[in-house]
Structure 1
């Protein structure tokens, strides 16, 4: 079965230290095929989300169509979910020290970034070979996992940076130039990694060994 990634975000505004992650973790740990989860806490928005690794696209789809919508309904809030095929992005991600492909853990991240470009292309046709050397030089970048949308073939990434400042510069200064060169719209989201370490460790997050 092919590896899959899931991105989720609840449209809430709750400081992470007030969110009931201790109740949520045992339920999440029972999800079929879940390998790990990194909790996400939105900077400036206090949204709550996660980046998950599943053992298959099938199990990832079951999570985003069953468990997660029920969680959003229970809170009475809107939600975002995305499913990505991990089988096609391994080579590209290893170059950028992806922790989801046996990357080497260094300093604890200070921030996470999620990106998705409004493009539809098989990942093999994406210009990742040209982009990777440029991405590797971005100040403070520790890790990146490339993302390839299931059904949509959108192209994106999940990044770990050393500081919020470097992550912010990436989403405001560099990433818009990347998407402009492709002539596409895009989404970027910025998250505080420091506040989610305690919650993420029991979920086997690869970023908080």
Structure 2
């Protein structure tokens, strides 16, 4: 990552992750301090399993868009794609980047919001209605499209769709640059996987021992 990278993350995921970690810390630490018998060990195993996974799926995901490459930090791996290796950026039920090899990588940090798309579409309809009324010399005060005061508020596209358009524009601008060539690299997040596996094994052993 460089200081010029554009960084995209999900605000809702960040908020949810912080709340879950706060809850886990409160319950887990209480069990570690006040628990008796095997309870502290069970609490420790649960924390080792739960905390890394919460971090992985809420706080960790991010997309870093630089001049030469796109770095996708997903829950369990980091994928780095030079712009020259990006075949397309697609949006459907999920947002994903497709490499020239045909491999697809989901952008966890840029989730698709069908609700957000519908809201943006309604705003676009209201603006179209306002424009049509203005062209006809009329003033929109209230209609099936909502109050006129709301017609100029809010984006015309969902935030996730706007981000994908920015990434596509950057790929088109930088895809043929000499510094944007290279190989796609994938690195597994062992710092997340290892403690989660250890915690799961410890939890299974403690449960088996009864």
TM-score by length of 1: 0.21
| Bigger-Rg structure (1/2) | 2
Question: As a proportion of its length, which structure holds more helix?
Answer: 2
Question: As a proportion of its length, which structure holds more strand?
Answer: 1
TM-score by length of 2: 0.21
